[in-house]
Amino acid sequence: MEESSKQMTTVVQTYPNLLSKLSDYCKKNYQCLVEKPGLFWLRKIGRFELIRNAISLLFQRTENTYQLSQEQPTVFQNVDVDAVVSGIKTDSYGIGVNLPPSVVKEIRDFADSTLCFANRDSKLGFYYPEKEKAQAELGQQIRLGSYLHNLKKCEVVKRLETDPTLLAIAAKFLGAPPVHMATELWWSFPVEATFNDQLKAAQVYHYDLDDYRFIKFFFYLTDVDLSAGPHILIRGTHKNKKFFHQLLGMRCASKDDQEIVSCYGADKVVAICGEAGLGFAEDSTCFHKGTLPTSKERLLLQIEYSINSYGAIRALD
């Protein structure tokens, strides 16, 4: 009798929680459908590889949109556009798009002197050199420090967004003129974190659905080894995903990391480490994550291009 009562109590407690989650899910979907119907349908049907590939074909151009422009100088040296794109198509990522030390220094100077925001909260601004003081005032550890809208003030990043080398790689991979979707710059700090904390910080295996075809460039602005939260991906998982993982879409992030690895093979896991300036391009429909730093901080720049633009897509997540 007592056991039955406990079970009933559990059901009563769980039921309102499930209703609340369902209600929240329906509200977000309705809001997305009304405000951004293109994004709504991408999130519903774009999770399936065959549909993404079919729709991407509609945007492809026959002309060589990936030729390097001569109108603007590139900051990159000796980048093989074909090799980078080939790497992405085969292994989900392509290496060799490295920033010169002078550009790394410009971005680091900007990061040191510009307000960033604790855990991506625009009300919790602080300067990176004063992080310890900011943590003391907040009474909690800071997991992330994102520059959000302040990144628009960084002239060198603006130049990178229109750099002919990045645009050539993006155009050849996309098969269409690249549309700039987003740029982010953020610190990841070595702090303790719950699963939910890591889920919010994209520090668990997941894959992105930002468009039917899109490409991301990642640049390390600090030296990154295994203790500094390297970017990790499961190569080749941008294609031929398990149908169940396609069906789940972005909700795959709730699955256990080891379960994902077991499905595709530990031999396909790649941890990308390197010195400040290291850059690589990725089809982030592959399973990937930014790992939680254990002893060193990491500063990362991400620039993304797509074939469509949906505005601030994270606002409706």
Within 78-233, where are the H helices? 81-91, 101-113, 131-138, 155-161, 164-174, 195-200
Q: Which residue has the higher pLDDT, 94 or 68?
A: 94
Q: Show Cβ contacts of residue 303 under 8 Å, excluding neighbours closer than 6 positions.
A: 157, 160, 161, 166, 180, 182, 183, 216, 217, 219
> How distant, in Å, are the alpha carbons of 26, 57, 250, 260, 307 from that of 32?
10, 25, 15, 28, 20
Note the pLDDT tens digit of each residue in 151-183. Answer: 999 999 999 999 999 999 999 999 999 999 999
pLDDT at residue number 316: 46
Enter the tokens of residue 282. Answer: 């990725």
Query: Comparing 6 with 150, which gets the higher pLDDT?
Result: 150
CB 286 within 8 A of CB 89: no
Contact (CB, 8 A) for 21 and 295? no
Residues 97, 17 share a domain: no
What integer pLDDT is reported at residue 12 of this predicted model? Answer: 43
The mean pLDDT of 74-92, rounded to a whole number, is: 96
How many domains is the chain partitioned into structurally?
2
Determine how many CB atoms are found less than 10 A away from the CB of residue 17: 9
Q: Tell whether 284 and 201 lie within a shared domain.
A: yes
Q: In this predicted structure, what is the pLDDT of residue 34?
A: 79
Task: Look up the CATH number of the domain holding residue 139.
Answer: 2.60.120.620
pLDDT at 8: 46
Q: Domain span at residue 271?
A: 50-316
Distance of CA 142 to the CA centre of its chain: 19
pTM of the model: 0.89
**127 & 238 share domain:** yes
Q: Is residue 261 part of a domain?
A: yes
Beta strands in 196-276 (DSSP E): 214-220, 231-234, 269-272
114: in domain? yes
pLDDT tens-digit map of 42-72: 989 999 999 999 999 998 876 666 777 777 8
% residues pLDDT > 90 (the chain): 74
Q: Is 214 strand, coil or helix?
A: strand
40 part of a folded domain: no
pLDDT in tens, 234-284: 999 999 999 999 999 989 999 999 999 999 999 999 999 999 999 999 999
